[in-house]
Amino acid sequence: MSAAFIFEQLLNSLQLGVMLFVMAAGLTLVFGVMGLINLAHGSLYMVGAFFCAWVAGETGSFWVGLGAGLVAAAAAGAVIEMLVMRRLYDRDHLDQVLATFSLILIFNEGTRWVFGAQPLYLDIPAGLATSVPLPGGGGYPLYRLVIIGFGIATAVGLYLLISRTRLGMQIRAGESDREMIGALGVDINTLYTLVFAIGAMLAGLAGALVGALQSVEVGMGEPVLILAFVVIVIGGIGSIKGALIGAILVGLVDTLGRAFLHKLFALALPPAEANGYGAAMASMAIYLLMAIVLAWRPKGLFPVNA
């Protein structure tokens, strides 16, 4: 096992991590401000990917498609906020879970109705389809580095938005004391719609970026949704910083688990069995991580309002 191999796997962990962060940031923001648990966040991820693929196919430009994906996800977010989510803010988590679970069914079938049952084509922009040489040999796909760049930009952007802008001030106010923002004369409905749309847009961004790398198909949002929940639960629900740390942790554990666990098992077992057990353990690793973190810190690594 060469140093380049380990370095490459670390880069892979980082790339998975920042992508999960973009996905989880929206989820945790919505929870922090409105106290809403949104299972349909994965559907917004899917909306972003489908619109990106569709528009990129029509115009021939990935970047135009990406813009369209962001707009579509934000718009879908704003619409469901006004039609559905708004009625759920003062309900308990149970109602929120069921209502947003229903939204998943609606979005999945709706998307299939509009776009058809077959997966859509979306490839990375031609200019990014090369790899960059790594120190110690081998190459690393440029597009994955670009994704890391998008992720870091999102993190910085969110930090600036929340700490430096008027909207950010209102968001912070909303997180600590919901009644206060009403008293400040802020139109709370608009604020909530805006925050939800931002969260949705982030999901759409993740969907479009990852869709180009993976596949654009109905139901693509659910596995990612569960990962994003693992991330925000580990980080502390409502905490953006927690989401970042949680995402990197999950990225590390998942990638390194897949890369090394079966080799660990191979020390004690014949290769075929080691592969099987290694793969089984690798798919459970992040849930194990989550259980350990919560057993140790029941409100996550960075508890909000503790």
Partner 1 sequence: MLEMRNETYLNVGIALLLLAVPLGAWVMDESYYITVASRVAILALAGVGLNLALGFGGMVSFGHAAFFGLGGYAAGVLSHHAFEGSVFLNWPVTIDGSDATLTLWFAAILLSGAVAAIIGMISLRTSGVYFIMITLAFAQMIYYLAISLPTYNGEDGLPLYLRSSLPGLDMSDDLTFFFVCYALLLLAIFLSVRIVGSRFGAALECARQNETRLSAIGIAPYPVKLTAFVFSAMITGLAGALFVELNGFVSPSILSWHLSGEIMIFVILGGVGRFYGPIVGAALFIVLETVIGGYTERWQLFLGIILLGVVLFARGGVIGLLAGKARHD
Partner 2 sequence: MKRKLLALALAASVSMPALAQAENVKIGMITTLSGGGSSLGIDIRDGFALAVKQGGGKLGGQDVEVMIEDDARKPDKAKQIADKFIKRDKVDILTGIVWSNLALAVVPSAVKGGTFYISPNAGPSQLAGKLCNENYFNVAWQNDNLHEAMGAHVSSQGMKNAYILAPNYPAGKDALTGFKRFYKGELAGETFTKLGQKDYAAELAAIREAKPDSVFFFLPGGMGIAFMKQYAQSGIDAPVFGPAFSFDQGILKAVGDAALGVKNSSQWNKDIDNAANKAFVADFQSEYGRLPSLYASQGYDAARLIASALEKAGGVGDADAFRAALKAAEFDSVRGAFKFGSNNHPIQDIYVREVIKEGDVLTNKIVGVGLKDHADAYASQCSM
Residues found near partner 1 in the complex (CB under 8 A):
31, 37, 84, 87-88, 93-95, 97-99, 101-106, 108-110, 112-113, 226, 229-230, 233, 237, 276, 279-280, 283-284, 287-288, 290-291, 294-295, 298-300
Which residue of 28, 201, 255, 302 would you call a contact of partner 2, by CB under 8 A?
255
Q: Is residue 117 involved in binding partner 2 (CB under 8 A)?
A: yes
Q: Which of 48, 14, 58 has the alpha carbon at shortest distance from 199?
A: 48
Site for partner 2 in 166-225 (CB under 8 A): 210, 212-220, 223
User: Can you give the C-alpha Rg of the chain in angstroms?
Assistant: 20
CB 144 within 8 A of CB 159: no
Q: Per-residue string for binding with partner 2, 11-40, x by CB under 8 A?
A: -x--xx------------------------
Of residues 85 and 147, the one with the C-beta less far from partner 2: 147
Would you tell me the crossing angle of helices 271-296 and 221-235 to the nearest 10 degrees?
50
1 binds, among partner 2, partner 1, none (CB under 5 to 8 A by kind): partner 2
Run of H or E including 73:
helix 62-83
215 binds, among partner 1, partner 2, none (CB under 5 to 8 A by kind): partner 2
Number of Cβ atoms within 10 Å of the Cβ of 223 = 10
Of residues 15 and 38, the one with the C-beta less far from partner 1: 38
Stretch of residues binding partner 2 (CB under 8 A), selected from 61-69, 86-94, 123-131, 241-249: 123-131
**DSSP for residue 88:** G
175 binds, among partner 2, partner 1, none (CB under 5 to 8 A by kind): none
Number of Cβ atoms within 10 Å of the Cβ of 26 = 32
Q: Is 60 left (phi over 0), alpha (psi -120 to 50) or beta?
A: left
Q: Per-residue string for binding with partner 2, 261-300, x by CB under 8 A?
A: -x--------xx--xx-xxx-xx-----------------
Beta strand 139-141 pairing with 131-133: antiparallel
CB of 54 to partner 2, least distance (A): 13
Run of H or E including 141:
strand 139-141
Q: Is residue 118 involved in binding partner 2 (CB under 8 A)?
A: yes
Task: Give me the count of residues in the chain.
Answer: 306
Q: Which of 243, 81, 235 has the alpha carbon at shortest distance from 162?
A: 243
Q: Which of 287, 206, 292, 251 has the alpha carbon at shortest distance from 27?
A: 206
Q: Is residue 124 involved in binding partner 2 (CB under 8 A)?
A: yes
Which residue of 23, 24, 39, 120 would you call a contact of partner 2, by CB under 8 A?
120
Q: Is residue 131 involved in binding partner 2 (CB under 8 A)?
A: yes
First-to-last CA distance in the chain?
A: 44
84 binds, among partner 2, partner 1, none (CB under 5 to 8 A by kind): partner 1
**DSSP for residue 121:** P
Instruction: Show the tokens assigned to 273.
Output: 């069995």
Of residues 45 and 143, the one with the C-beta less far from partner 1: 45
Of residues 11 and 258, the one with the C-beta less far from partner 1: 258
* 131: helix, strand or coil: strand
Run of H or E including 274:
helix 271-296
- The residues that touch partner 2, with contacts defined as CB under 8 A, are 1-2, 5, 8-9, 12, 15-16, 108-109, 112, 117-124, 129-131, 138-139, 141, 143-144, 210, 212-220, 223, 255-256, 258-259, 262, 271-272, 275-276, 278-280, 282-283
